[in-house]
Structure 1
Amino acid sequence: MRIKQRFTTVAHPQAKGQVEVTNRILVQGIKRRLERVRGNWAKELTSVLRAYRTTPKGSIGESPFSLVYGTKAIIPAELGIPSHRIMNFSEERNENLLRENLDLIEELREKAFLRMQRYKNIMINSYNKRVRTRSFQVGDLVLRRPDALKPVG
């Protein structure tokens, strides 16, 4: 899965970019729900996590749930409404389909990885179009930020 574990300090959360983005999304979801339930965030956390895990991500085209389990999740609202998936449910057939999906999960993950790489390349190209290269010569005047003068460490 090409996952690299990196250790960062608590004082430098910017080093964990993806974790910070995910946490920000979860906090926004909890805040939206807290407006309705008035402060009982612990009860809302499971539904916010479910929503995050079952929503397809644009960069990979799949939901985290489907990449882990190889199938799409049935959301609670779908249980109460007669749908094709619910009406034609058979436990035995479901077991067989889940096994088949597990055989295909690596292919699904590989496709998601390729989509993510393509998305990254699009973002890199978009950024690089706006970047101007600058070259400085000895003796050129430059503007430095005051915090650049502070010692590191």
Structure 2
Amino acid sequence: MGGWVVKSSMAYGAEAVAPAKIGEQSWRVKEYTSSGNDQALQISLDLVDELRDEASTRAERYRACMNKAYNDRVKPRTFQVGDLVLRKSDILKSVGKLDPKWEGPYKVIEIVKMGAYRLQHSDGKILPRPWNMANLKKFYA
């Protein structure tokens, strides 16, 4: 509940009130004074930087947790020079229902940069551009 109060006070400038409590007068409404309200507003303005820092810290912690959860499920894949791979066939042309989804095998002849590979066809012809590893899978012969 405390996090929701911080969020609502940062977004709307006041704490949230449950709909069931709108009709009844709360302690805050009964004890309202103009000078006390001005003083409370000044205090909340002084604390707004701390609220921002707290919200930023919470968001960063959430992002780190989400990154960790995602990265734990990712299986790292790399290919070495000389590996045989298959290439997705729907990248360059549309593939019909009964057409093969993968082409190849191709031989990895160069690692261009992390995740990009230059391929060579089995007849020795080098493909004109590098291919991303998302479009390749290992071929087991």
Residues 1:102 and 1:75: Cα distance change in structure 2 (over 3 Å):
farther
Aligned partners of 1:66 and 1:89: how far apart in 2? Answer: 18
Aligned partners of 1:73 and 1:91: how far apart in 2? Answer: 20
TM-score by length of 2: 0.51
State the Cα deviation string for residues 116-149 of structure 1 (Å, max 9, x = none). Answer: 001100110011111101113453124x273x33
Q: Counterpart in 1 of 2:52?
A: 109
Which has the greater radius of gyration?
Answer: 2
Q: Do structure 1's residue 141 and structure 2's residue 86 form an aligned pair? A: yes
CA RMSD for the aligned pairs?
2.8
Residues 1:145 and 1:73: Cα distance change in structure 2 (over 3 Å):
farther
Percent identity reads 36
Residues 1:145 and 1:125: Cα distance change in structure 2 (over 3 Å):
farther
Q: Counterpart in 1 of 2:9?
A: 66
Q: Which runs of 5+ in 1 are unaligned?
A: 1-54
Q: Counterpart in 2 of 1:124?
A: 67
Q: Counterpart in 1 of 2:40?
A: 97
Paired residues of 1:70 and 1:104 also in contact (CA < 8 A)? no
Aligned partners of 1:74 and 1:141: how far apart in 2? Answer: 60
Going by fraction, where is strand more abundant, 1 or 2? 2
Alpha-carbon deviation of 1:70? 5.1
Alpha-carbon deviation of 1:105? 0.3
Total equivalences in the alignment: 89
Going by fraction, where is helix more abundant, 1 or 2? 1
Residues 47-86 of structure 1 correspond to what in structure 2 (within 5 A)? 56=4, 62-63=6-7, 65-68=8-11, 71-74=14-17, 77-86=20-29
Task: Give the counterpart letter for 1:149 in structure 2.
Answer: L
